[in-house]
Amino acid sequence: MVLDKYPWWNKTQCELADKIEDFVDRNIGRATEAAYKKEFPYDLMDKVLKDGWPATIIPEEYGGMGKEAGVTGCCIGMEGIARLGAIATSFATTMFGGCHQTVHFGNEEQKEKWLPKFARGEIMGAVCITEPFIGSDAAGIETTAVRDGDEYILNGKKRFITNAGLADVYMVYAKTSDNPTDIKAYKHLTGILVEKGTPGFTVEKINELIGWDGVRNGYLNFDDARVPASNVLAGEGMGWNIMISGLNFERTLGAIAGVSAIRECIRYAAFSMDRRVQFGQPTREFQANQLKVADMIANWKILRLLAYYIAYQIDIGGMAPLGPFLESTAAKIYITEAMRKAALDCIQIMGGDGLTRFYPIEAILRDVKILEIGAGTNEVLRLLLYRQGLRIHASDFKAPWREMHPELQMPIPHMEVIPLPEGTEVDENTVLNVLAEYWRINPGLHFSRDQLLARLRTDEEKLDEILMSLEEKGLAKNYRDKRGVIALTRATYQGLKKAKPNEYYQYFPKWVDRSEFF
Protein backbone atom coordinates (compact mmCIF):
# COMPACT_ATOMS: atom_id res chain seq x y z
CA MET A 1 0.00 0.00 0.00
CA VAL A 2 1.09 3.57 -0.65
CA LEU A 3 0.27 6.72 1.29
CA ASP A 4 -1.81 9.25 -0.60
CA LYS A 5 0.59 11.99 -1.71
CA TYR A 6 -0.16 15.70 -1.92
CA PRO A 7 0.91 17.72 -4.96
CA TRP A 8 3.14 20.06 -2.92
CA TRP A 9 5.27 17.21 -1.58
CA ASN A 10 8.77 17.18 -3.01
CA LYS A 11 10.60 14.13 -4.32
CA THR A 12 12.15 13.29 -0.95
CA GLN A 13 8.81 13.45 0.83
CA CYS A 14 7.15 11.25 -1.78
CA GLU A 15 9.96 8.71 -1.41
CA LEU A 16 9.51 8.78 2.36
CA ALA A 17 5.80 8.01 1.90
CA ASP A 18 6.62 4.93 -0.17
CA LYS A 19 9.34 3.88 2.25
CA ILE A 20 7.26 4.09 5.43
CA GLU A 21 4.27 2.20 4.06
CA ASP A 22 6.51 -0.62 2.90
CA PHE A 23 8.21 -0.72 6.31
CA VAL A 24 4.91 -0.74 8.21
CA ASP A 25 3.33 -3.39 5.99
CA ARG A 26 6.31 -5.66 6.66
CA ASN A 27 6.40 -5.10 10.41
CA ILE A 28 2.79 -4.71 11.50
CA GLY A 29 2.66 -8.38 12.50
CA ARG A 30 5.54 -7.96 14.93
CA ALA A 31 3.95 -4.81 16.37
CA THR A 32 0.64 -6.63 16.90
CA GLU A 33 2.40 -9.52 18.62
CA ALA A 34 4.08 -7.09 21.03
CA ALA A 35 0.76 -5.34 21.72
CA TYR A 36 -0.92 -8.63 22.66
CA LYS A 37 1.92 -9.34 25.08
CA LYS A 38 2.01 -5.71 26.32
CA GLU A 39 5.70 -5.74 25.53
CA PHE A 40 7.73 -2.88 24.19
CA PRO A 41 9.17 -4.00 20.80
CA TYR A 42 12.73 -2.76 21.21
CA ASP A 43 13.71 -4.42 17.94
CA LEU A 44 11.12 -2.44 15.97
CA MET A 45 11.97 0.79 17.78
CA ASP A 46 15.60 0.31 16.89
CA LYS A 47 14.68 -0.19 13.23
CA VAL A 48 12.62 3.02 13.16
CA LEU A 49 15.37 5.03 14.81
CA LYS A 50 18.21 3.62 12.74
CA ASP A 51 16.18 3.96 9.54
CA GLY A 52 16.56 7.72 9.79
CA TRP A 53 13.07 8.91 10.74
CA PRO A 54 14.29 11.20 13.55
CA ALA A 55 16.55 12.85 10.96
CA THR A 56 13.57 14.31 9.10
CA ILE A 57 13.46 17.49 11.19
CA ILE A 58 17.22 17.83 11.75
CA PRO A 59 19.34 20.18 9.58
CA GLU A 60 21.74 18.56 7.17
CA GLU A 61 24.81 19.97 8.92
CA TYR A 62 23.99 17.82 11.94
CA GLY A 63 23.35 14.64 9.97
CA GLY A 64 19.68 15.20 9.22
CA MET A 65 17.63 15.39 6.04
CA GLY A 66 17.12 19.14 6.30
CA LYS A 67 14.44 21.06 4.47
CA GLU A 68 13.90 18.33 1.89
CA ALA A 69 12.08 16.28 4.54
CA GLY A 70 11.11 18.75 7.27
CA VAL A 71 8.05 18.53 9.49
CA THR A 72 6.10 17.19 6.51
CA GLY A 73 8.55 14.30 6.25
CA CYS A 74 8.27 13.68 9.98
CA CYS A 75 4.46 13.60 9.72
CA ILE A 76 4.69 11.18 6.80
CA GLY A 77 6.74 8.90 9.01
CA MET A 78 4.34 9.39 11.90
CA GLU A 79 1.29 8.55 9.78
CA GLY A 80 2.79 5.19 8.94
CA ILE A 81 4.44 4.42 12.27
CA ALA A 82 1.15 5.18 14.04
CA ARG A 83 -0.05 1.78 12.82
CA LEU A 84 2.69 0.06 14.86
CA GLY A 85 1.39 0.54 18.39
CA ALA A 86 3.80 1.38 21.21
CA ILE A 87 6.71 2.48 19.06
CA ALA A 88 4.57 5.20 17.47
CA THR A 89 4.13 6.90 20.83
CA SER A 90 7.81 6.50 21.68
CA PHE A 91 8.92 7.81 18.29
CA ALA A 92 6.67 10.86 18.51
CA THR A 93 7.81 11.55 22.07
CA THR A 94 11.44 11.44 20.97
CA MET A 95 10.69 13.98 18.26
CA PHE A 96 8.95 16.49 20.54
CA GLY A 97 10.86 15.47 23.66
CA GLY A 98 14.27 17.00 23.12
CA CYS A 99 14.90 16.74 19.39
CA HIS A 100 12.55 19.54 18.29
CA GLN A 101 13.59 21.80 21.16
CA THR A 102 17.30 21.40 20.43
CA VAL A 103 16.77 22.14 16.73
CA HIS A 104 14.90 25.38 17.43
CA PHE A 105 16.33 26.60 20.74
CA GLY A 106 19.72 24.96 21.16
CA ASN A 107 23.00 26.82 20.78
CA GLU A 108 25.71 25.57 18.46
CA GLU A 109 27.41 23.51 21.15
CA GLN A 110 24.14 21.84 22.15
CA LYS A 111 23.19 21.11 18.56
CA GLU A 112 26.56 19.53 17.85
CA LYS A 113 26.27 17.41 20.99
CA TRP A 114 22.72 16.12 20.61
CA LEU A 115 21.41 16.39 17.06
CA PRO A 116 23.81 13.95 15.35
CA LYS A 117 22.86 11.35 17.98
CA PHE A 118 19.16 11.93 17.35
CA ALA A 119 19.74 11.78 13.58
CA ARG A 120 21.59 8.46 13.81
CA GLY A 121 18.88 6.99 16.04
CA GLU A 122 21.28 6.51 18.92
CA ILE A 123 19.13 8.23 21.55
CA MET A 124 15.50 8.58 22.51
CA GLY A 125 13.85 11.56 24.15
CA ALA A 126 11.06 12.46 26.56
CA VAL A 127 9.26 15.63 27.62
CA CYS A 128 8.62 16.37 31.30
CA ILE A 129 5.86 18.88 32.03
CA THR A 130 3.12 17.19 34.07
CA GLU A 131 3.53 16.88 37.84
CA PRO A 132 1.48 15.30 40.65
CA PHE A 133 -0.27 18.62 41.33
CA ILE A 134 0.20 20.33 37.97
CA GLY A 135 -1.64 19.26 34.81
CA SER A 136 -3.36 21.73 32.52
CA ASP A 137 -1.97 24.62 34.60
CA ALA A 138 1.51 24.12 33.16
CA ALA A 139 2.67 27.57 34.24
CA GLY A 140 2.30 26.42 37.85
CA ILE A 141 5.16 23.91 37.66
CA GLU A 142 6.64 23.22 41.13
CA THR A 143 9.81 21.31 40.22
CA THR A 144 12.67 23.70 40.95
CA ALA A 145 16.05 24.28 39.34
CA VAL A 146 18.45 26.34 41.45
CA ARG A 147 21.68 27.67 39.98
CA ASP A 148 24.82 26.55 41.80
CA GLY A 149 27.93 27.63 39.95
CA ASP A 150 28.10 25.79 36.64
CA GLU A 151 25.21 23.52 37.55
CA TYR A 152 21.51 23.56 38.31
CA ILE A 153 20.14 21.50 41.20
CA LEU A 154 16.76 19.97 40.36
CA ASN A 155 14.19 18.89 42.94
CA GLY A 156 10.66 17.68 42.33
CA LYS A 157 8.55 15.03 40.65
CA LYS A 158 7.14 14.59 37.16
CA ARG A 159 4.40 12.16 36.19
CA PHE A 160 2.69 10.69 33.12
CA ILE A 161 6.04 10.90 31.36
CA THR A 162 6.14 8.82 28.18
CA ASN A 163 9.43 7.00 27.52
CA ALA A 164 10.13 7.03 31.27
CA GLY A 165 13.26 4.92 31.68
CA LEU A 166 13.58 4.38 27.92
CA ALA A 167 14.70 7.85 26.96
CA ASP A 168 18.34 8.89 27.05
CA VAL A 169 17.60 12.61 27.33
CA TYR A 170 14.67 14.32 29.06
CA MET A 171 13.34 17.78 28.18
CA VAL A 172 12.55 19.00 31.69
CA TYR A 173 10.70 22.21 32.56
CA ALA A 174 11.47 23.61 36.00
CA LYS A 175 10.81 26.77 37.98
CA THR A 176 13.83 29.05 38.29
CA SER A 177 12.18 32.18 39.70
CA ASP A 178 9.59 33.09 42.33
CA ASN A 179 9.62 36.74 41.31
CA PRO A 180 5.99 37.86 40.71
CA THR A 181 7.12 39.99 37.76
CA ASP A 182 8.79 36.97 36.13
CA ILE A 183 5.75 34.79 36.81
CA LYS A 184 3.39 37.36 35.30
CA ALA A 185 5.61 37.57 32.20
CA TYR A 186 6.01 33.76 32.01
CA LYS A 187 9.75 34.15 32.55
CA HIS A 188 9.89 31.92 35.62
CA LEU A 189 10.36 28.58 33.84
CA THR A 190 13.49 27.13 32.27
CA GLY A 191 13.97 24.25 29.85
CA ILE A 192 16.80 21.88 30.73
CA LEU A 193 18.03 18.71 29.02
CA VAL A 194 18.63 16.05 31.68
CA GLU A 195 20.57 12.94 30.77
CA LYS A 196 19.71 9.43 31.83
CA GLY A 197 22.03 8.33 34.63
CA THR A 198 22.28 11.75 36.26
CA PRO A 199 22.79 11.14 40.02
CA GLY A 200 19.57 11.88 41.92
CA PHE A 201 17.41 11.38 38.81
CA THR A 202 15.35 8.17 38.99
CA VAL A 203 12.23 6.46 37.66
CA GLU A 204 9.77 6.23 40.55
CA LYS A 205 6.83 4.38 39.06
CA ILE A 206 5.49 2.94 35.79
CA ASN A 207 1.81 3.51 35.04
CA GLU A 208 -0.72 1.03 33.73
CA LEU A 209 -2.80 3.19 31.41
CA ILE A 210 -6.17 2.60 29.79
CA GLY A 211 -4.42 2.36 26.42
CA TRP A 212 -1.00 2.63 24.78
CA ASP A 213 -0.28 -1.04 25.42
CA GLY A 214 3.44 -1.60 26.00
CA VAL A 215 4.29 2.10 26.22
CA ARG A 216 6.56 3.07 29.11
CA ASN A 217 4.82 5.90 30.93
CA GLY A 218 5.63 6.82 34.50
CA TYR A 219 6.79 9.07 37.32
CA LEU A 220 10.25 10.63 37.58
CA ASN A 221 11.95 11.91 40.72
CA PHE A 222 14.61 14.61 40.96
CA ASP A 223 16.40 14.54 44.31
CA ASP A 224 19.16 17.17 44.27
CA ALA A 225 19.91 16.10 40.71
CA ARG A 226 22.81 18.19 39.42
CA VAL A 227 22.68 19.12 35.74
CA PRO A 228 25.29 21.16 33.85
CA ALA A 229 24.19 24.74 33.20
CA SER A 230 25.29 24.12 29.62
CA ASN A 231 22.21 21.90 29.25
CA VAL A 232 19.83 24.87 29.60
CA LEU A 233 18.16 25.71 26.28
CA ALA A 234 17.87 29.36 25.18
CA GLY A 235 18.83 30.68 28.60
CA GLU A 236 17.16 30.88 31.99
CA GLY A 237 13.53 32.00 31.92
CA MET A 238 12.83 30.88 28.35
CA GLY A 239 11.10 27.64 29.32
CA TRP A 240 7.57 28.81 28.59
CA ASN A 241 8.34 29.69 24.98
CA ILE A 242 10.15 26.39 24.49
CA MET A 243 7.23 24.52 26.04
CA ILE A 244 4.61 26.17 23.82
CA SER A 245 6.66 25.47 20.70
CA GLY A 246 7.06 21.84 21.73
CA LEU A 247 3.36 21.43 22.49
CA ASN A 248 2.41 22.85 19.11
CA PHE A 249 4.68 20.31 17.43
CA GLU A 250 3.37 17.55 19.69
CA ARG A 251 -0.21 18.36 18.73
CA THR A 252 0.73 18.32 15.06
CA LEU A 253 2.25 14.84 15.33
CA GLY A 254 -0.67 13.68 17.47
CA ALA A 255 -3.08 14.95 14.85
CA ILE A 256 -1.51 12.95 12.05
CA ALA A 257 -1.42 9.87 14.29
CA GLY A 258 -5.16 10.32 14.84
CA VAL A 259 -5.70 10.54 11.09
CA SER A 260 -3.87 7.24 10.73
CA ALA A 261 -6.15 5.67 13.34
CA ILE A 262 -9.25 6.85 11.48
CA ARG A 263 -7.87 5.13 8.39
CA GLU A 264 -7.54 1.88 10.35
CA CYS A 265 -11.16 2.18 11.46
CA ILE A 266 -12.22 2.53 7.82
CA ARG A 267 -10.05 -0.44 6.90
CA TYR A 268 -11.59 -2.75 9.48
CA ALA A 269 -15.14 -1.48 8.99
CA ALA A 270 -14.88 -2.29 5.28
CA PHE A 271 -13.18 -5.61 6.06
CA SER A 272 -16.05 -6.62 8.32
CA MET A 273 -18.92 -5.31 6.18
CA ASP A 274 -17.67 -7.15 3.11
CA ARG A 275 -17.57 -10.47 4.97
CA ARG A 276 -20.37 -10.33 7.52
CA VAL A 277 -23.72 -11.56 6.14
CA GLN A 278 -26.95 -10.80 7.99
CA PHE A 279 -30.54 -11.07 6.76
CA GLY A 280 -29.24 -12.62 3.56
CA GLN A 281 -26.85 -9.85 2.52
CA PRO A 282 -23.44 -8.38 3.43
CA THR A 283 -23.77 -5.76 6.14
CA ARG A 284 -22.26 -3.18 3.81
CA GLU A 285 -25.70 -3.06 2.16
CA PHE A 286 -27.23 -1.58 5.30
CA GLN A 287 -27.55 2.17 4.92
CA ALA A 288 -26.82 2.80 8.59
CA ASN A 289 -23.38 1.28 8.12
CA GLN A 290 -22.82 3.18 4.89
CA LEU A 291 -23.52 6.50 6.62
CA LYS A 292 -21.06 5.71 9.40
CA VAL A 293 -18.30 4.89 6.94
CA ALA A 294 -19.11 7.99 4.90
CA ASP A 295 -18.51 10.11 8.02
CA MET A 296 -15.21 8.32 8.63
CA ILE A 297 -14.04 8.94 5.08
CA ALA A 298 -15.07 12.61 5.19
CA ASN A 299 -13.20 13.15 8.45
CA TRP A 300 -10.17 11.23 7.23
CA LYS A 301 -9.85 13.24 4.02
CA ILE A 302 -10.50 16.67 5.54
CA LEU A 303 -8.50 16.25 8.75
CA ARG A 304 -5.55 14.64 6.99
CA LEU A 305 -5.42 17.68 4.73
CA LEU A 306 -5.51 19.95 7.80
CA ALA A 307 -2.64 18.10 9.48
CA TYR A 308 -0.40 18.25 6.41
CA TYR A 309 -1.34 21.89 5.81
CA ILE A 310 -0.01 22.68 9.28
CA ALA A 311 3.19 20.74 8.57
CA TYR A 312 3.63 22.54 5.24
CA GLN A 313 3.11 25.95 6.84
CA ILE A 314 5.75 25.17 9.46
CA ASP A 315 8.17 24.04 6.77
CA ILE A 316 7.83 27.23 4.73
CA GLY A 317 7.95 29.45 7.81
CA GLY A 318 4.37 30.60 7.43
CA MET A 319 3.47 30.24 11.09
CA ALA A 320 4.19 32.30 14.21
CA PRO A 321 7.67 32.02 15.80
CA LEU A 322 6.53 29.48 18.39
CA GLY A 323 4.61 27.40 15.86
CA PRO A 324 1.06 26.90 14.61
CA PHE A 325 -0.76 27.46 17.89
CA LEU A 326 -4.34 27.92 16.70
CA GLU A 327 -4.06 25.42 13.86
CA SER A 328 -2.40 22.62 15.86
CA THR A 329 -4.78 23.20 18.76
CA ALA A 330 -7.85 22.98 16.53
CA ALA A 331 -6.43 19.92 14.78
CA LYS A 332 -5.73 18.15 18.06
CA ILE A 333 -9.28 18.72 19.28
CA TYR A 334 -11.18 17.74 16.16
CA ILE A 335 -8.97 14.88 15.04
CA THR A 336 -9.05 13.14 18.42
CA GLU A 337 -12.83 13.53 18.57
CA ALA A 338 -13.20 12.26 15.01
CA MET A 339 -10.91 9.36 15.95
CA ARG A 340 -13.14 8.49 18.92
CA LYS A 341 -16.26 8.64 16.75
CA ALA A 342 -14.62 6.50 14.07
CA ALA A 343 -13.64 3.86 16.63
CA LEU A 344 -17.12 3.77 18.16
CA ASP A 345 -18.79 3.62 14.74
CA CYS A 346 -16.42 0.90 13.56
CA ILE A 347 -17.15 -1.18 16.66
CA GLN A 348 -20.88 -0.67 16.07
CA ILE A 349 -20.50 -1.85 12.49
CA MET A 350 -18.47 -4.90 13.55
CA GLY A 351 -20.83 -5.73 16.41
CA GLY A 352 -19.46 -8.04 19.09
CA ASP A 353 -16.28 -8.70 17.12
CA GLY A 354 -15.31 -5.06 17.49
CA LEU A 355 -15.33 -5.43 21.27
CA THR A 356 -12.71 -8.16 21.26
CA ARG A 357 -8.93 -7.92 21.23
CA PHE A 358 -8.98 -10.04 18.06
CA TYR A 359 -9.25 -6.72 16.23
CA PRO A 360 -7.32 -3.46 16.85
CA ILE A 361 -10.33 -1.14 17.10
CA GLU A 362 -10.90 -1.55 20.83
CA ALA A 363 -7.26 -0.52 21.33
CA ILE A 364 -7.82 2.58 19.20
CA LEU A 365 -10.80 3.47 21.38
CA ARG A 366 -8.70 3.08 24.53
CA ASP A 367 -5.81 5.05 23.03
CA VAL A 368 -7.94 8.01 21.96
CA LYS A 369 -9.00 8.69 25.54
CA ILE A 370 -5.34 9.36 26.32
CA LEU A 371 -5.00 11.62 23.30
CA GLU A 372 -8.03 13.67 24.36
CA ILE A 373 -6.25 14.42 27.64
CA GLY A 374 -2.56 14.58 26.71
CA ALA A 375 -0.87 17.72 25.29
CA GLY A 376 -3.67 19.77 26.83
CA THR A 377 -7.17 18.47 27.49
CA ASN A 378 -9.65 19.20 24.74
CA GLU A 379 -11.64 21.35 27.15
CA VAL A 380 -8.67 23.54 28.04
CA LEU A 381 -7.66 23.77 24.39
CA ARG A 382 -11.15 24.97 23.48
CA LEU A 383 -10.80 27.75 26.04
CA LEU A 384 -7.44 28.69 24.56
CA LEU A 385 -8.93 28.71 21.07
CA TYR A 386 -11.65 31.04 22.25
CA ARG A 387 -9.31 33.43 24.03
CA GLN A 388 -6.44 33.49 21.59
CA GLY A 389 -8.48 32.98 18.42
CA LEU A 390 -10.56 36.11 18.93
CA ARG A 391 -7.46 38.08 19.93
CA ILE A 392 -5.19 36.95 17.09
CA HIS A 393 -7.90 37.27 14.45
CA ALA A 394 -9.61 40.36 15.83
CA SER A 395 -9.46 42.09 12.44
CA ASP A 396 -11.12 39.09 10.76
CA PHE A 397 -14.04 39.22 13.19
CA LYS A 398 -14.43 42.99 13.33
CA ALA A 399 -17.86 44.00 14.62
CA PRO A 400 -20.16 45.40 11.91
CA TRP A 401 -21.87 48.77 12.16
CA ARG A 402 -25.57 48.38 11.39
CA GLU A 403 -27.70 51.20 10.00
CA MET A 404 -31.47 51.14 9.50
CA HIS A 405 -32.43 51.19 5.82
CA PRO A 406 -34.88 54.11 5.36
CA GLU A 407 -37.18 52.24 2.99
CA LEU A 408 -36.87 48.62 4.11
CA GLN A 409 -36.68 49.49 7.81
CA MET A 410 -34.21 46.64 8.18
CA PRO A 411 -30.60 46.76 9.46
CA ILE A 412 -27.92 47.11 6.77
CA PRO A 413 -24.33 46.22 7.78
CA HIS A 414 -21.30 48.44 7.18
CA MET A 415 -17.73 47.63 8.15
CA GLU A 416 -16.99 51.11 9.46
CA VAL A 417 -18.97 53.16 11.97
CA ILE A 418 -20.92 55.97 10.30
CA PRO A 419 -20.36 59.06 12.49
CA LEU A 420 -22.92 61.74 13.17
CA PRO A 421 -22.67 64.80 10.92
CA GLU A 422 -19.65 66.91 11.74
CA GLY A 423 -20.49 69.71 14.13
CA THR A 424 -23.29 67.84 15.91
CA GLU A 425 -23.41 68.94 19.54
CA VAL A 426 -22.82 65.98 21.84
CA ASP A 427 -24.98 66.25 24.95
CA GLU A 428 -27.24 63.95 26.95
CA ASN A 429 -30.07 64.18 24.43
CA THR A 430 -27.73 63.33 21.54
CA VAL A 431 -26.33 60.30 23.37
CA LEU A 432 -29.79 59.13 24.41
CA ASN A 433 -31.05 59.42 20.83
CA VAL A 434 -28.08 57.39 19.58
CA LEU A 435 -28.76 54.72 22.23
CA ALA A 436 -32.41 54.62 21.16
CA GLU A 437 -31.39 54.24 17.54
CA TYR A 438 -29.06 51.40 18.51
CA TRP A 439 -31.78 49.64 20.50
CA ARG A 440 -34.08 49.77 17.49
CA ILE A 441 -31.44 48.08 15.33
CA ASN A 442 -29.85 45.76 17.92
CA PRO A 443 -32.53 45.08 20.56
CA GLY A 444 -31.15 43.31 23.59
CA LEU A 445 -27.53 44.28 22.93
CA HIS A 446 -25.39 46.88 24.66
CA PHE A 447 -23.59 49.62 22.71
CA SER A 448 -19.80 49.15 22.80
CA ARG A 449 -17.65 52.03 23.98
CA ASP A 450 -15.45 52.13 20.87
CA GLN A 451 -18.38 52.24 18.44
CA LEU A 452 -20.20 54.84 20.53
CA LEU A 453 -17.11 57.07 20.56
CA ALA A 454 -16.79 56.73 16.79
CA ARG A 455 -20.49 57.47 16.23
CA LEU A 456 -20.46 60.60 18.42
CA ARG A 457 -17.05 62.00 17.34
CA THR A 458 -16.30 62.88 20.96
CA ASP A 459 -13.60 62.24 23.54
CA GLU A 460 -13.65 59.60 26.27
CA GLU A 461 -13.80 61.98 29.22
CA LYS A 462 -16.88 63.77 27.91
CA LEU A 463 -18.57 60.49 27.00
CA ASP A 464 -17.99 59.08 30.50
CA GLU A 465 -19.41 62.23 32.07
CA ILE A 466 -22.59 62.00 29.99
CA LEU A 467 -23.04 58.25 30.50
CA MET A 468 -22.65 58.53 34.27
CA SER A 469 -25.13 61.39 34.35
CA LEU A 470 -27.66 59.38 32.32
CA GLU A 471 -27.14 56.42 34.64
CA GLU A 472 -27.74 58.56 37.73
CA LYS A 473 -31.02 59.73 36.18
CA GLY A 474 -32.10 56.17 35.44
CA LEU A 475 -31.99 56.76 31.67
CA ALA A 476 -29.03 54.49 30.91
CA LYS A 477 -27.31 51.48 32.41
CA ASN A 478 -23.55 51.07 32.11
CA TYR A 479 -21.43 47.93 32.24
CA ARG A 480 -17.92 48.41 33.65
CA ASP A 481 -14.99 46.09 32.99
CA LYS A 482 -12.56 44.78 35.62
CA ARG A 483 -10.69 48.10 35.54
CA GLY A 484 -13.88 49.98 36.36
CA VAL A 485 -14.04 51.54 32.89
CA ILE A 486 -17.42 51.83 31.16
CA ALA A 487 -17.15 49.26 28.37
CA LEU A 488 -20.80 48.86 27.34
CA THR A 489 -23.95 50.90 27.75
CA ARG A 490 -27.65 50.81 26.93
CA ALA A 491 -30.76 52.91 27.35
CA THR A 492 -33.21 51.91 30.05
CA TYR A 493 -36.93 51.73 29.37
CA GLN A 494 -37.27 55.25 30.73
CA GLY A 495 -34.41 56.35 28.50
CA LEU A 496 -36.09 54.90 25.42
CA LYS A 497 -39.34 56.68 26.30
CA LYS A 498 -37.56 59.99 26.75
CA ALA A 499 -35.59 59.67 23.51
CA LYS A 500 -38.32 58.71 21.04
CA PRO A 501 -42.09 58.15 20.83
CA ASN A 502 -43.26 54.55 20.93
CA GLU A 503 -44.04 54.59 17.18
CA TYR A 504 -40.32 55.00 16.46
CA TYR A 505 -39.56 51.52 17.78
CA GLN A 506 -42.36 49.71 15.96
CA TYR A 507 -41.72 47.38 13.06
CA PHE A 508 -44.23 45.35 11.07
CA PRO A 509 -43.26 43.50 7.86
CA LYS A 510 -45.00 44.70 4.71
CA TRP A 511 -46.87 41.45 4.38
CA VAL A 512 -48.56 42.09 7.77
CA ASP A 513 -51.85 43.98 7.95
CA ARG A 514 -51.19 46.55 10.67
CA SER A 515 -54.91 46.83 11.42
CA GLU A 516 -54.87 43.27 12.77
CA PHE A 517 -52.81 44.35 15.77
CA PHE A 518 -53.49 46.61 18.73
Q: What is the CA radius of gyration of the chain?
A: 29
**Residue 391, CA distances (Å) to 378, 384, 385, 397, 482 in order:** 20, 10, 10, 9, 18
Q: What single-letter amino acid sits at 219? A: Y
Check if 250 is active-site: yes
Task: Provide the b/e sequence for 104-143 (b: ≥16 CB within 10 Å).
Answer: bbbeeebbebbbbbbbbbebbbbbbbbbeebbeebeebeb
- HEC sequence for 127-152: EECCECCECCCHHHCCCEEEEECCEE
Q: What single-letter amino acid sits at 475? A: L
**Residue 146, CA distances (Å) to 226, 227, 472 in order:** 9, 10, 56
Antiparallel, parallel or unpaired: β 411-414 and 401-404: antiparallel
Q: What single-letter amino acid sits at 40? A: F
Q: Which of 79, 250, 362, 372 is catalytic?
A: 250
**Do the beta carbons of residue 403 and residue 414 sit within 8 Å?**
yes
**Do the beta carbons of residue 40 and residue 34 sit within 8 Å?**
yes
Catalytic residue positions, numbered: 250
